[in-house]
Structure 1
Amino acid sequence: MSADRAIASHSWAVACWEKAELREALTGCDRILNDEFSDYPEKSLYAIGIVDEAKKL
């Protein structure tokens, strides 16, 4: 594989990953704003990756 092709391939993979990460973040925000986690303490939603990692505590 040529260097140019490897760079283009890597750039495409990173762009796809970033879009998936953004999609997960926006979905999580939507779920929070729609009160799906209203019975969770606020601290369980702080500094987590995706909202599915939240714990009811």
Structure 2
Amino acid sequence: MTGIGVVVSLVLLCAPGLSRVLESIAFRIRAAGRAELLRAAQEADGGRPARKRGRHG
């Protein structure tokens, strides 16, 4: 196989896993953006800033 054939084969083998990783990253970015918008809206409405809540709430 040529070098290009090997690369194409590897890409095809890794495509399902890679797409899951990319979807996960995109989900996290969207969730962080929504959380930031909610925090900003709450502060703009005169509410006190949202408390950072970790695992233990």
- TM range, smaller chain: 0.5 to 0.7
Q: Percent identity?
A: 10
In structure 2, stretches of 5+ residues that fail to align are 1-12, 53-57
Higher helix share goes to which structure?
2
- TM-score (normalised: structure 1): 0.63
Two-structure CA RMSD over aligned residues (Å): 1.8
The count of aligned residue pairs is 41
Q: Which has the larger radius of gyration?
A: 2
User: Which stretches in structure 1 are left out of the alignment for 5+ residues?
Assistant: 38-44, 46-50
Higher relative contact order (CA 8 A, sep 6+): 1
TM-score (norm 2): 0.63
| Runs of 4+ more than 3 Å apart | none
